[in-house]
Amino acid sequence: MTPADAPTVFVIDDDAAVRASIQGLLKSVGLRSESFGTAQEFLRSKRPDGPSCLVLDVRLPGINGLDFQRELAEKGFRIPIIFITGHGDIPMTVKAMKSGAMEFLTKPFRDQDLLDAIHQALDRDRVTRQQQSELAELRKSYGALTAREREVMVLVVSGMLNKQIASELGTSEITVKIHRGHVMRKMQAESLAELVRMAAKLELPLGKK
C-alpha cells in the first residue's frame, strides 16, 4: 500500500518509450509514478490524494500541452507542471512559464535536470496543500462563530477597543469582552496579532461593518 501522503509523478506523453524511460528513472530514485498516453486518459483516471506534479509533453494527440495547462487551470485543478518537448521555442517557453509551469525542458534533456524540476515541483505542491489544509481548518473554526462573534472579530482585528466595539454594536463592554474571549478560544488564537493574521487569510473585511 502507498501512504496517502506519498508523492506521485504523473507523466503524459504519447510516446510509450519516453513514458517508460521517465518511469524507470523515477523508480530508480524511489518516486512513484503513473503514465498516460493522452490528456483525456489522465482526466479519467482516479488520482491519489497526495503531493503530485505533472510531466507533460507539449505535443499530444487531441490537445496540445499548453491548451491542456489552461484547461486544468480553468477547472481549478492546481498541479505543478513540467513541460517536455522535442520542438520547443522561446515564445512557447515564455507562454508556458507565464501560465505557471515549473520548468520547460527540451528533449534530449539530462535526467538530473528533470529530477531537479520534479523535486522542486513536489516541494511546491506540499507547501500548497499544507496552506490549503490550514485555510480549511481556519474556515471551520470561523464557521463555528456566532453571527455576533463574527461581528466582534471583524471589529477587533480592525483595531477597535472593546469600548468602541460596544458603542458600535449597541451593547455593553462586558458583553464584548465575553464575545472576544469566545472568538479567541474558538479560533485558537493566542494573541491579537495571530487573530489579525487569521482574518487576513480568511480575507475578512477590515473596518466597520
* Cell of residue 133, nine digits: 489544509
Phi-psi region of 89 (alpha: psi -120 to 50; beta: other; left: phi over 0): beta
Tell me how far apart the alpha carbons of residues 20 and 26 are, in angstroms, rounded to a whole number. 10
* Cell of residue 108, nine digits: 534530449
Position 87 confidence tier, pLDDT thresholds 50, 70, 90:
confident
Helix then strand count (H, E) for the chain reads: 9, 5
Instruction: Please say if the pLDDT value at position 102 is more than 80.
Output: yes
Position 3 confidence tier, pLDDT thresholds 50, 70, 90:
low
Q: For the sheet with 32-36, list strands across it.
A: 32-36, 8-12, 52-57, 81-85, 103-106
* Residue-by-residue DSSP string for 192-209: HHHHHHHHHHTTPPPS--
Instruction: Please say if the pLDDT value at position 203 is more than 70.
Output: yes
Model pLDDT, residue 93: 81
Q: Residues 149-161: what's their mean pLDDT?
A: 95
Tell me how far apart the alpha carbons of residues 3 and 1 are, in angstroms, rounded to a whole number. 6
Model pLDDT, residue 207: 55
What is the rounded average pLDDT for all residues in the chain? 91
| pTM of the predicted structure, to 2 decimals | 0.76
Model pLDDT, residue 180: 96
Q: What are phi and psi of 3, to 5 degrees?
A: -55, 145
Position 1 confidence tier, pLDDT thresholds 50, 70, 90:
very low
| Alpha helix ranges (H) inside 144-201 | 147-157, 162-169, 173-187, 192-201
Q: Residues 181-208: what's their mean pLDDT?
A: 90
Q: To 10 degrees, what angle do helices 147-157 and 162-169 make?
A: 130
Q: Residues 41-47: what's their mean pLDDT?
A: 90
Q: Is 6 helix (H, G, I), strand (E, B) or coil?
A: coil
Q: Residues 133-150: what's their mean pLDDT?
A: 95
Model pLDDT, residue 63: 84
Tell me how far apart the alpha carbons of residues 58 and 196 are, in angstroms, rounded to a whole number. 44
Q: Would you say the C-alpha torsion 60, 119, 32, 100 has a positive or negative sign? A: negative
